[in-house]
Amino acid sequence: MSLLVLVSLLGVFCGFLVFCSTREHLLSVLLSLEFMVICIFFLFLLSFFYGGGYYSLIYLIMAACEGALGLSVLVVMGRTHGGDYFKCFNVFE
């Protein structure tokens, strides 16, 4: 049981490292955020066996909303600026 918790926490840490190190494309940032969300959901799923099922369901709903919001930002940025590359994104235009 503790090995699963350790692997999930290691996944969150690796996702956070990728999130902090790659800032060129919005898609890579969103993928690292979703990876961290999945690893945290595994932690909630482990607590499901100890009576934490309600919280894991709420977390899954919030994660789906976060993913939909990130994809909508990606589509809008692709349509207005021609891609998801942060270097060509100028706020003052």
In a domain? residue 25:
yes
Contact status, residue 24 vs residue 10, Cβ threshold 8 Å: no
pTM for this structure?
0.80
The pLDDT score that the predictor gives to residue 54 is: 76
CA distance to 22, 61, 70, per residue, from 28 (Å)? 7, 22, 11
The pLDDT score that the predictor gives to residue 8 is: 87
Please give the chain's pLDDT, 93 residues, in tens: 688 888 889 999 999 998 888 778 888 888 899 999 999 888 888 777 766 677 778 888 899 999 999 899 888 888 887 777 766 666 555
The pLDDT score that the predictor gives to residue 90 is: 61
Range of the domain at 38: 2-88
In a domain? residue 29:
yes
Query: Into how many domains does the chain fold?
Result: 1
In a domain? residue 18:
yes
The pLDDT score that the predictor gives to residue 59 is: 84
In a domain? residue 93:
no
CATH number at residue 56: 1.10.287.3510
